[in-house]
């Protein structure tokens, strides 16, 4: 099935109009030396019936949350995706369109992006959001670049309690521009503010703080931001959008740029992608923000409409002077986020956050009651927490999997010192029954 439109007869007619005799002649500009002569080593073409079977077989080799109870987090969470959302982002008017370069033919996606941008500002307490970035990690890297563009300093301080993969991405990105990355150590699961003070100096462009952090623990946002401000540095917050249903928004506690992974806002798990990178900032930094921005305007008759605006920041106009190289972004995931927040609304988001909070704490308490297990850090947390256990995490997870449970993250993978430590996440989707079953399996070990 090649989906091509022209029949052999039409091809003939068209070639005649072009003045050629064969399809081969169309490719005459390709030098003989590089023309592909042999055939490619590709799998055999499949009909749709066969394709369905083939992919179903692959899918069946995976253990998905539709059959397993998932307690994994670490930056990606099993939050509920409303059915209405799936249907709406499935409208081909949205998903088979390109970036809305031609505004008059793209008002649907443009207004939706404008709404998305507004949602992000409302959620984060910031004034400007762009139209989306790839994911939370690259959004963070873009924020770091942005800070450097703003204050022309060359060092980024990042909390050690950041997602380890975000730290890794930061490192890769910053290396490109010869910027310095310094990691502020944590103390019992939380940034050590005394250490932070030591790291601050006139080269520091920005301080990056996760809220809550990789261990699920709340950081001292206000103090951190204030320390940064006093040093003439910016404060970049990396947040969990669901937590913002109950937690004070970074705009309130002094962050200058806010980024995060928006996968929780209606994108689902997808084995890690696509998710959604969001970035928002204060008004004064608007012209430094990377990526696309939808803005409101009017047509000749005075009717309201939306366009991509401030494109002079972008690569297709400014080329090497652009604020970023990003071109395609995650518009459809942004649309999903807008729809998600529309459906949940004020009450739904708050209740979702509360369910996560309540259930996570219930699980943490139940586990802490099991002899040999304990909560690694005794600090307030949101929906994720670290337990230390008497057994290797791999052993626990094997046992859990047998019981149709996908257990937590083995922290040793990222922090060799955290032996037998597991990061567990609980979302609104988990039931008491599932939680109790997990506890029961742990007890049985």
Partner 1 sequence: MSKLIFEKGACGRNGISLPEMDVPFQGVGGLIPKNLLRKELPLPELSEPEVVRHYTNLSKLNFSVDGNFYPLGSCTMKYNPKINEELAALPGFTQLHPYQGEESVQGALELMYNLEKNLSEIVGMERMTLQPAAGAHGELTGILMLRAFFKDKGESRKKIIIPDASHGTNPASAVLGGFEIVEVATDNSGGIDIEALKKVMNEEAACLMLTNPSTLGLFEENILEVSSIVHKAGGLLYGDGANLNALLGKARFGDMGFDLVHLNLHKTFAAPHGGGGPGGGPLGVKKQLIPYLPVPLVDRQGGRFFLNYDLPGSIGRMRSFYGNFLVMLKAYVYILSLGEEGLRKAAENAVLNANYLRAKLKDYYELPYKKICLHEVIFSGSRQKAKGVRTLDIAKRLIDFGMHPPTIYFPLNVPEALMIEPTETETKETLDYFIEIMKRIAGEAEENPQLLHQAPHNAPVGRLDEAKAAREIDVAWQASG
Ligand X SMILES: Cc1ncc(COP(=O)(O)O)c(C=O)c1O
Residues at the interface with ligand X (CB under 6 A):
327-328
Closest contact distance (angstroms) between CB of 286 and partner 1 is 7
5 scored as a contact of a second copy (CB under 8 A)? no
Residue 54, both tokens? 């083939």
Closest contact distance (angstroms) between CB of 408 and partner 1 is 9
Q: Please choose which of partner 1, a second copy, ligand X, none residue 58 contacts, taking the beta carbon within 5 to 8 angstroms, the exact cut-off set by kind.
A: partner 1
Cα distances (angstroms) measured from residue 227 to each of 193, 197, 247, 254, 377? 9, 7, 21, 10, 24
Among 45, 66, 347, 444, binds a second copy (CB under 8 A): 66
87 scored as a contact of a second copy (CB under 8 A)? yes
Closest contact distance (angstroms) between CB of 97 and a second copy is 16
Site for a second copy in 279-298 (CB under 8 A): none
Calpha distance 279→131 (Å, rounded): 9
Closest contact distance (angstroms) between CB of 110 and ligand X is 17
362 scored as a contact of a second copy (CB under 8 A)? no
**Count of residues in the chain:** 445
Give whichever of 184 and 241 is closer to partner 1, judged by the CB atom.
241
Which stretch of DSSP H or E encloses residue 403? none
Site for partner 1 in 86-145 (CB under 8 A): 86-88, 90-109, 111-115, 117-119, 121-123, 127-129, 131-132, 134-138, 145
Give whichever of 292 and 376 is closer to ligand X, judged by the CB atom.
292
Return the sign of the alpha-carbon dihedral for residues 210, 257, 107, 323: negative
Q: Please choose which of a second copy, ligand X, partner 1, none residue 6 contacts, taking the beta carbon within 5 to 8 angstroms, the exact cut-off set by kind.
A: partner 1
Task: Estimate to the nearest angstrom the gap between the alpha carbon of 331 and the chain centroid.
Answer: 12
Q: At what angle do helices 107-124 and 331-368 cross, to 10 degrees?
A: 30
Return the sign of the alpha-carbon dihedral for residues 36, 40, 44, 47: negative
Of 229, 275, 254, which is closest to residue 77 (Cα–Cα)? 275
Site for a second copy in 9-48 (CB under 8 A): 48
Site for a second copy in 402-441 (CB under 8 A): 428-429
Residue 329, both tokens? 């972004």
Q: Which residue has the tokens 């690259």?
A: 138
Among 144, 146, 244, 258, binds partner 1 (CB under 8 A): 244
The DSSP bridge partners found for residue 279 are 259
Give whichever of 46 and 327 is closer to ligand X, judged by the CB atom.
327
Among 157, 234, 255, 338, binds partner 1 (CB under 8 A): 338
Calpha distance 31→380 (Å, rounded): 67
Calpha distance 329→172 (Å, rounded): 20
Residues at the interface with a second copy (CB under 8 A): 48-49, 56, 66, 80, 82-83, 87, 90, 92, 428-429
């Amino acid at each position: 099935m090649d989906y091509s439109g022209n029949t052999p007869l039409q091809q003939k007619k068209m070639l005649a109009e072009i003045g050629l005799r064969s399809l081969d002649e169309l490719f005459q500009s390709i030098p003989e030396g590089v023309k592909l002569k042999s055939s490619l080593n590709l799998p055999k073409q499949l009909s749709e019936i066969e394709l369905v079977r083939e992919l179903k077989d692959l899918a069946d080799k995976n253990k998905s949350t539709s059959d397993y109870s998932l307690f994994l987090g670490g930056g990606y969470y099993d939050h509920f995706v409303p059915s209405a959302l799936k249907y709406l982002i499935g409208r081909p008017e949205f998903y088979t369109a390109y970036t809305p370069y031609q505004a008059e033919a793209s008002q649907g996606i443009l207004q939706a992006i404008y709404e998305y941008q507004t949602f992000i500002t409302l959620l984060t307490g910031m004034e400007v959001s762009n139209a989306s970035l790839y994911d939370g990690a690259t959004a963070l890297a873009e924020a770091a670049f942005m800070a450097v563009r703003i204050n022309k300093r060359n060092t980024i301080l990042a909390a050690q309690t950041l997602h380890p993969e975000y730290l890794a991405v930061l490192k890769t990105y910053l290396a490109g521009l010869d910027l310095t990355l310094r990691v502020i150590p944590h103390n019992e699961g939380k940034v050590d503010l005394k250490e932070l003070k030591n790291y601050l100096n006139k080269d520091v462009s920005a301080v990056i703080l996760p809220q809550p952090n990789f261990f699920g623990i709340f950081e001292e946002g206000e103090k951190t931001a204030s320390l940064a401000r006093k040093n003439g540095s910016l404060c970049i917050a990396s947040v969990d959008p669901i937590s913002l249903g109950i937690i004070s928004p970074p705009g309130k506690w002094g962050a200058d740029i806010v980024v995060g992974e928006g996968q929780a806002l209606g994108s689902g798990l997808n084995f890690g992608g696509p998710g959604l990178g969001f970035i928002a900032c204060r008004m004064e930094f608007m012209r430094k923000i990377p990526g696309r921005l939808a803005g409101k305007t009017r047509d000749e008759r005075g009717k309201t409409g939306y366009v991509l605006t401030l494109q002079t920041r972008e690569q297709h106009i400014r080329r090497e002077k652009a604020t970023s190289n990003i071109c395609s972004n995650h518009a459809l995931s942004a649309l999903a986020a807008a729809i998600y927040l529309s459906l949940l609304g004020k009450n739904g988001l708050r209740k979702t956050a509360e369910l996560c909070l309540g259930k996570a704490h219930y699980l943490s308490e139940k586990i802490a009651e099991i002899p040999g297990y304990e909560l690694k850090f005794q600090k307030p947390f949101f929906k994720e927490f670290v337990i230390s256990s008497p057994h290797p995490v791999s052993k626990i997870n094997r046992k859990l999997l047998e019981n149709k449970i996908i257990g937590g993250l083995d922290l040793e993978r990222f922090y060799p010192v955290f032996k037998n430590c597991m990061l567990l996440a609980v979302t609104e989707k988990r039931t008491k029954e599932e939680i109790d079953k997990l506890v029961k399996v742990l007890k049985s070990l």
